[in-house]
Amino acid sequence: MSRKRPAIQTLMPWLVVFGLFGAWELACIAFSVPEFVLPRPTVVFQTMAEFAGPLWQHSSYTLFTTVIGFALAVIGGVLLGLAVGASPLVYHGLYPVLIGFNAIPKVAIVPVLVVWFGIGTIPAIITAFAISFFPIAVNVATGLATLEPELEDVLRSLGASKLDILLKVGLPRSLPYFFASLKVAVTLAFVGSVIAETVASNEGIGYLMLQASSRFQIPLVFAGLIVIAAMGVVMYFLFAAVEGRLTGWATRKTEFAEVE
């Protein structure tokens, strides 16, 4: 579908990542930074290999809660976005509440969730959900609300019902917005579950990092950070790939420019 990108463009992300680690390594050596302040990347990766077992166990747990919370956020966000985008009444009623809710730092609700559900999986899932449904809802609503009035006139003068307009135009039109929001939301979901784990959990990468830092195992903390970042990047590109496949018409400038 797309043309071959120049090799340098494919290499660029890796070059930047390795450059970053290299600079980090060199700076630590040059300024002889102590390991418990900022460990060198090589030390971090050694620790990673050393603690591969626990890291794997805890990060797969985090991945699990994140994905569940994110899946709930997709369902909730789409439904809410549809309601808000399709009905001005719902829009005016709900928007201030939604914005207010989104302004609350989610770390502040974790203790409440612990009181309700106890320590463990459920608060993490709910925090992941709470932090990631908002961008999905807003984007779906935007996709629906920015329907051209002329197009709506064309359809209404054909006798189209509200449902017709939603199915034929509204939904396909909001798909690019939806997928764009998924990329952002999935990384936010990681933030949510890790926050919950650091506050109240006996499992998960956040818990592991908290334990490690209380024992001054700073390299392990950084190992955890890198694992989270890696999971976030993988999920982001997963959804970017899905997006490109399903809504290529919206990003045609890069993908389709040379079709003919």
Q: Which residues, 6 or more positions from 174, have their beta carbon under 8 angstroms from its beta carbon?
A: 81, 85, 139, 140, 142, 143, 144
Q: Is 172 in the site for other proteins (CB under 8 A)?
A: yes
Out of 1, 8, 49, 158, point to the residue binding other proteins (CB under 8 A).
158
> How far apart are the C-alpha atoms of 222 and 214, rounded to whole Å?
13
* Stretch 194-253 residues interacting with other proteins (CB under 8 A): 247, 249-250, 252
> How far apart are the C-alpha atoms of 248 and 242, rounded to whole Å?
10
Stretch that binds other proteins, among 14-22, 111-119, 163-171, 231-239 (CB under 8 A): 163-171
> How far apart are the C-alpha atoms of 69 and 62, rounded to whole Å?
10
Out of 67, 160, 225, 226, point to the residue binding other proteins (CB under 8 A).
160
Given a contact cutoff of 8 angstroms between Cβ atoms, the answer to whether 100 and 134 are in contact is no
Q: Is 27 in the site for other proteins (CB under 8 A)?
A: no
Out of 30, 37, 49, 259, point to the residue binding other proteins (CB under 8 A).
259
Q: Is 87 helix (H, G, I), strand (E, B) or coil?
A: coil
Q: Is 168 in the site for other proteins (CB under 8 A)?
A: yes
Q: What is the largest CA-CA distance in the chain?
A: 75
Q: Is 148 in the site for other proteins (CB under 8 A)?
A: yes
Q: Is 3 in the site for other proteins (CB under 8 A)?
A: no
Per CB under 8 A, residues contacting other proteins are 148, 150-151, 153-160, 164, 168-169, 172-173, 175, 247, 249-250, 252, 256, 259-260
